[in-house]
Amino acid sequence: MKQRYTVEDLEYLMSRLRDPESGCPWDLKQSFASIVPSTIEEAYEVAEAIEREDFEHLNEELGDLLFQVIFYARLGSENGYFDFARIVDTLVRKLVRRHPHVFPSGDLHGDNQTADIDEQQIKENWEAIKAAEREAKGEDGTLGGVAVGLPGLTRALKLQKRAAGVGFDWPDIGGVLDKISEEVEELRAAIQAGDTEHAKEELGDLLFACVNAARHLKADPESALRQCNRKFERRFTFVETRLKACDRLPTDASLQELDQLWEAAKVEEKS
Name the superfamily (CATH) of residues 1-82: MazG-like (1.10.287.1080)
Rounded distance, CA 18 to CA 26, Å?
Answer: 9
> Which positions ≥6 away from 112 have C-beta within 8 Å?
102, 103, 104, 105
Q: Give residue 157's pLDDT.
A: 96
Taking domain 152-219, whether its CATH number is 1.10.10.10 is answered by: no
Q: Give residue 161's pLDDT.
A: 93
Q: Do domains 1-82 and 152-219 have the same CATH topology?
A: yes
- Global pTM? 0.72
Q: For every one of its 271 residues, what pLDDT tens digit does the chain have, with 9 covering 90 and above?
A: 778 999 999 999 999 999 999 999 999 999 999 999 999 999 999 999 998 899 999 999 999 999 999 999 999 999 999 999 999 999 999 999 999 888 888 889 887 777 778 888 888 787 788 778 887 887 778 898 888 888 999 999 999 999 998 899 999 999 999 999 999 999 999 999 999 999 999 999 999 999 999 999 999 999 999 999 999 999 999 999 999 999 999 999 999 999 999 999 999 999 8
Q: Give residue 268's pLDDT.
A: 93
Contact between 46 and 58 (Cβ < 8 Å) = yes
Rounded distance, CA 227 to CA 211, Å?
Answer: 15
What are the domain boundaries of the chain?
1-82, 90-140, 152-219, 223-270
